[in-house]
Amino acid sequence: MQFFVSVDVGTSSIKGCIYDENLSPLRSYSVEIPPIVNDQGYEHDPRLVYRSFTDVIKYLVKDYDNKITAFSFDTYNHSMILLDNEDKPLTNLITGMDLRAGKYVHEWQSRDDPIEIYRETGCPPLFIYLPTRILWLRKERPEILTKTRKILSIKDYLMMQIFGVPYLDYGTASGNGILNIKKLKYSDRVLSDLGMSESELGILVEGQKVLERLPKGFLREVNISRGDVALVPSTFDGAAQSFGLKSLFPKGTINLGTTAVVRTLSEEAKVDYNELMRFFCYYAAGGRFALGGSSNNCGSLLKWLKGTFFESEETVAAQTGLSAYELMDIQASRAPAPGSLIFLPFIHGERFPFRSSNLAGVVFGLKSHHKRSHIIRAAMEGVAFTLKSICEALSENNLSLKEMSIAGGASKSDFWVQVIADILGTKILKPSYADNLSCLGNAVLAYSSLFSEPLEKIKYENPIEKIFCPNFERSCIYDQKYHAFKTLFSNLKVLFEENNR
């Protein structure tokens, strides 16, 4: 019997699953990783992340420690950590939620042709990518760069802890804006613009291929007694999730987690024809590419709302057995559908398709009769309108998504998923394992790599728990409200930029 250990290192938690040779989940476990938040910074303690990473593995392998065949893991995208000459961290892990490099996006654009860089890397000028972060550090923290030997992401940082070598899969590397996605090598053009060399970065490897056997020291650390365990690097969390769902174009995936994402997997690298560069194109694994857009504001927005307006729900939750988020769901469902408020949800700036760290949250149309229920519903609608904007950009590039599957922690809210279905006007499928699909995707890639089995021929159970069909009447009303959402954003865009000068 073959057993696969899979770990998903996300922005808010580290999840893990162990699967048998039929890719059926046998055990799962998760731990939260609290962020370090200050001003516009959003970081993780790298030592805590590694300790939590190994703790999850230890829990999973109990009773299976001598039966593990392969290990695979994904990590969140758009991260950065600096290491010194002794490979010790000079910084925390800087996440994709960190806005501090935003003021240097225009400087990066002025150094080279942003359209050409986008066509080569699949990444438009944006605060989440490495080039703007390097400019930020040079301007504001030059003393750290002078001590820096390696500039890594969370993936190659963890690989270095395991192997002593900073291996980095092409997929995660492509999410940092420095990979030529067609040649699968670091972009000479970008490195030249930044005055950097490949020796400062992770060592590139394919994610859908056995890399090495796990070293004995790491096996002992995580209590695996079997000495021959293959490591398959996998890819970044979003692509792993899409592999778990088999979301090959024209099927798509919606993720509702800390961030919100729409993506599909394609055998062709494709970027936006429009110079607005409204979606990304990252390498995924096995010759496939992840096309789509991500929003900084989803679970992070609800968490802020909970802490700001719904503190009393924590007390009520303890008495009722419901979570605070479930109580917020109930309140939102009591507001009229569609709501009368328009909520621009950009409290953490925005990635796609609007691309600016200077954007902010706005509640438009607030009157004395409005309650908390109206605000929470409007926030959910605002996230859905952002997803609709990404879908529109894909559709204009002949990438219309015919069927959507949904995943991520916030997809537990049937109410929110129905709002999204109504706004997109698209049927949405929710699988039974919606919260662990990245882990499943890692296991699928490991299985394919070990047994040389094409992904499309691998069979496993992932039953559909519920289907959400759009309500035609509500969809028509939401179309009008979406037009108002875009008009409001368009009228405020200049003010957002001026307010942050």
Where exactly are the structural domains of the chain? 3-234, 297-403+467-499
- Which pLDDT does position 314 carry in this prediction? 75
Six-digit token string for 433: 């394992």
pLDDT at 273 over 90: yes
pLDDT band, very low/low/confident/very high, at 375 (cuts 50, 70, 90): very high
Mean pLDDT (whole number) for 345-350: 96
The average pLDDT across 346-352 equals 96
Average pLDDT over residues 296-314: 89
What are the backbone dihedrals phi and psi of residue 360, each rounded to the nearest 5 degrees, phi first?
Answer: -145, 170
**pTM given for the model:** 0.95
Kindly state which CATH superfamily the domain 3-234 is placed in: ATPase, nucleotide binding domain (3.30.420.40)
Bin 368: left if φ > 0, else alpha if -120 < ψ < 50, else beta: alpha
Beta-bridge mates of residue 361: 345
Q: Which residues contact 332 (CB under 8 A, 6 or more apart)?
A: 373, 376, 377, 380, 415, 416
Give mean pLDDT, residues 13-38. Answer: 95
pLDDT tens per residue, range 198-252: 999 999 999 999 999 999 999 999 999 999 999 999 999 999 999 999 898 999 9
Q: CA distances (Å), 25 to each of 3, 32, 224, 453, in order? A: 10, 21, 19, 20
Backbone angles phi, psi at 326, to 5 degrees: -65, -35
Q: What is the pLDDT of residue 73?
A: 98
Of the pLDDT bands very low, low, confident and very high (cuts 50, 70, 90), residue 1 is confident
Identify the pLDDT of residue 434. 77
Residue 312 has a pLDDT of 80
76-122 tens-digit pLDDT: 999 999 999 999 999 999 999 999 999 999 999 999 999 999 999 99
Question: What pLDDT does residue 194 have?
Answer: 96
In Å, how far from its chain's centre is CA 405? 16
pLDDT at 317: 75
Q: Which pLDDT score, from 0 to 100, does residue 456 have? A: 86
Please compute the mean of the pLDDT values over residues 377-383 and round it to a whole number.
Answer: 97
The helix or strand, by DSSP H or E, that contains position 49, with its residue range, turns out to be: helix 46-60
Tell how strand 260-266 and strand 251-256 pair up.
Answer: antiparallel
Model pLDDT for residues 41-63, shown as the tens digit of each residue: 999 999 999 999 999 999 999 99
pLDDT at 501 over 80: no
- The answer to whether the 3-234 and 297-403+467-499 domains have the same CATH topology is yes
Per-residue confidence (pLDDT) for residue 346, from 0 to 100: 98
Mean pLDDT of the chain: 95
Identify the architecture of domain 297-403+467-499 in CATH.
2-Layer Sandwich (3.30)
